[in-house]
Amino acid sequence: MKSSKLIFYLLAGMVIFLIIWIGKESLTQPGLDQFEGKYELLSSFRNENNTGPVVRIIAVKAVDSNKDWMRSFGDFQPHTKYGRTLVFFFSDEIDQKISLSPTDPYFSTGLKPYVLATYEKGPMGDVKLVDGYPE
């Protein structure tokens, strides 16, 4: 009788510990707050196709030109299986809203010299971060 109570309390303690640990981990994940002050959203586009490849294009003014945070920011963006996510990081000289389209060129060709880097997550999840606009 004593050993069954001990096992019960031990298992109950482990379950309570796991619930607290999972709750803490779920509620303390980093959000967009980690990028605060490093970017300004200029424009975004998502096609209306929900059954086929979803294309997401995001134009961001980069206040900080560090490539590490750019890759992290791109990884943080939503991605759909067999879809494509493109993030264009513009220099801070751009102060206008940008009109995006779903096909190349994704914006006015006059803005290409202002692109610092381009992040692309392809249909199979492959990631590329290149300097400037990809040719």
Same-domain status, 54 and 119: yes
Buried b / exposed e over 41-70, threshold 16 CB at 10 Å, is ebbebbeeeeeeebbbbbbbbbeeeeeebb
Q: What is the pLDDT of residue 76?
A: 82
- Count the domains in the chain: 2
C-alpha distance across the termini of the chain, in Å: 75
Contact yes or no for 66/95 (Cβ under 8 A): no
Same-domain status, 10 and 45: no
Same-domain status, 3 and 21: yes
Instruction: Give the span between the Cα atoms of 15 and 8, in whole angstroms.
Output: 11
Domain that holds residue 25: 1-30
User: Could you list the pLDDT tens digit for every one of the 135 residues in the chain?
Assistant: 678 888 999 999 999 999 999 998 888 776 666 566 667 788 888 888 666 788 888 888 888 777 888 888 888 888 877 888 889 988 888 877 888 888 778 887 888 888 888 898 888 878 888 887 777
Same-domain status, 15 and 51: no
Q: What is the pLDDT of residue 34?
A: 58
- Give the pair of three-digit tokens for residue 102: 């779903």
Same-domain status, 40 and 65: yes
Query: Using omega within 30 degrees of 0 as the cis cutoff, is the peptide bond preceding 105 cis?
Result: yes
Same-domain status, 56 and 87: yes
| Model confidence, pTM | 0.73
Same-domain status, 12 and 67: no
Same-domain status, 48 and 5: no
Same-domain status, 58 and 24: no
* Lateral strand order in the sheet of 84-90: 39-46, 55-62, 84-90, 115-121, 127-131
Same-domain status, 37 and 26: no
- Give the pair of three-digit tokens for residue 36: 């605060």
Same-domain status, 50 and 98: yes
Same-domain status, 20 and 82: no
Contact yes or no for 89/119 (Cβ under 8 A): yes
